[in-house]
Amino acid sequence: MKKVVTIAGSDSTGGAGIQADLKTFEEYGVFGFSSLTSIVTMDPSAGWQHEVTPIPAKLLEKQLCSVFAGAPMDAMKTGMMGNEQNIAVASSFIQEEKIKNVVIDPVIACKGTAQILQPKSVAGIKRYLLPQAFIVTPNLIEAGILTELGDLTTVSDMKKAARILYSLGARNVVIKGGRRLPESEEAIDLLYDGRNDYLLKGELFETDNNHGAGCTFSAAITAGVAKGYNVYQAVNIAKEFVASAIKHGVTINPYVGHVWHGAYTHAEERMVQIDEK
Ligand code: PXL
């Protein structure tokens, strides 16, 4: 069984973050480990406002010691890191454990909140994580911030940003255009491997039940790489996996709707129903 670890934040509502990662790993049939960097809480009495509470770096270190107790991981994903100390801790484990399949999802802002990570964390991602990334998977906003290009609104902007992220050390760049690319009839993502650009086009779903899509896409890429797919294959399968998850998204409560991580494998049909026995 392939082993995969996610270093990320907790989304108690189960759509994004570490919950999305572990659910996705399970669907791929890889064994999921996790180390929490932060806990995100949402306030229903304040318009579902998000608050990020970081986990102390020492505690992240202890979790990673548990994860790496004598056995290597086949792949690692990083997501929301909480603060720059946690970024440094994750980075030193990547180095010490010589992990090759590292997917960096440079989470800088959550949808539905203006809260952007501290500028120090953005600097930390660039300094520590991008040079260790086998694949980096920013969305358009994150790619714009990391490259200092600002608003990315065209495929040509995405290609420009991908080259900058590659020059910052990431060996493969996947920019998640999703439905944020203006005037596009399709959901377009870009893969750049230092030589070629590949445009991944998919159906654009008219739904608000898409919370967790970004985390799920990156987690699916990570699991695919752990299973031995090459980057192109892993990204394409992940795109199908997340498209299915968005298509079958669920309204969770009056504030948010989530992707359904089990859609691609029809997880809802797997358990025998009690009244069918
Ligand atoms: O989607 C970005 C994201 C990542 N990680 C965690 C989150 C969110 C958004 O809510 O809660 C833990």
pLDDT one-digit tens code per residue, 147-180:
999 999 999 999 999 999 999 999 999 999 987 7
State whether the beta carbon of 138 lies less than 6 angstroms from ligand 1. Answer: no
Ligand 1: distance of its center to the CA of 77 in Å?
Answer: 14
Nearest atom, ligand 1, residue 105 CA: 4
Residues 6+ apart with CB under 8 A from 48: 42, 112, 255, 256
Handedness of CA 258, 192, 123, 149 (dihedral sign): negative
Tell me: pLDDT of 62 over 70. Answer: yes
The pTM assigned to this predicted structure is 0.96
Find the range with the poorest average confidence among 43-52, 61-70, 223-232. Answer: 43-52
Q: Are 25 and 49 in contact (CB under 8 A)?
A: no
Choose among 267, 215, 266: nearest CA to 242: 215
Q: Please give the Cα distance from 135 to 125 (Å, whole number).
A: 13
Q: Please give the Cα distance from 266 to 50 (Å, whole number).
A: 31
Type of residue numbered 63: Q
Choose among 277, 233, 224, 236: nearest CA to 77: 224
Mean pLDDT for 51-75 is 96
| 3-class secondary-structure state, position 171 | coil
Mean pLDDT score of the chain: 93
pLDDT at res. 118:
66
State whether the beta carbon of 214 lies less than 6 angstroms from ligand 1. Answer: yes
In testing the pocket of ligand 1, which one of 37, 215, 258, 259 has its CB within 8 Å of the most ligand atoms? 215
Ligand 1: distance of its center to the CA of 50 in Å?
Answer: 9
Mean pLDDT for 251-256 is 94
Q: Are 51 and 40 in contact (CB under 8 A)?
A: yes
Percent of the chain with pLDDT over 70: 95
Q: Are 216 and 20 in contact (CB under 8 A)?
A: yes
In testing the pocket of ligand 1, which one of 23, 40, 78, 258 has its CB within 8 Å of the most ligand atoms? 40
> Please, what is the Cα angle at 76 between 72 and 82, to 5 degrees?
125
Q: Please give the Cα distance from 109 to 79 (Å, whole number).
A: 11
Residue with CA at minimum distance from ligand 1 atom 1? 110
State whether the beta carbon of 16 lies less than 6 angstroms from ligand 1. Answer: yes
Q: CB atoms < 10 A from the CB of 277, how many? A: 5
Residue with CA at minimum distance from ligand 1 atom 10? 110
| Token representation of residue 222 | 């990570």
16 phi/psi in degrees, rounded to 5: -110, -165
Tell me: pLDDT of 237 over 90. Answer: yes
Mean pLDDT for 175-200 is 91
Q: Are 174 and 191 in contact (CB under 8 A)?
A: yes
In testing the pocket of ligand 1, which one of 53, 110, 137 has its CB within 8 Å of the most ligand atoms? 110
| 3-class secondary-structure state, position 58 | helix
Q: Please give the Cα distance from 104 to 101 (Å, whole number).
A: 10
The band of 32, judged by pLDDT with boundaries at 50, 70 and 90, is very high
State whether the beta carbon of 213 lies less than 6 angstroms from ligand 1. Answer: no
Please give the DSSP secondary-structure letter assigned to residue 15.
S
Choose among 19, 214, 43, 217: nearest CA to 115: 43
In tens, the pLDDT along 106-150 reads: 998 765 455 556 677 899 999 999 999 999 999 999 999 999 999
Q: CB atoms < 10 A from the CB of 53, how many? A: 11
Ligand 1: distance of its center to the CA of 11 in Å?
Answer: 6
Rg (CA), the chain: 18
67 phi/psi in degrees, rounded to 5: -60, -45
Type of residue numbered 275: D
Ligand 1: distance of its center to the CA of 168 in Å?
Answer: 24
Q: CB atoms < 10 A from the CB of 150, how many? A: 10
pLDDT at res. 90:
98
The band of 227, judged by pLDDT with boundaries at 50, 70 and 90, is very high
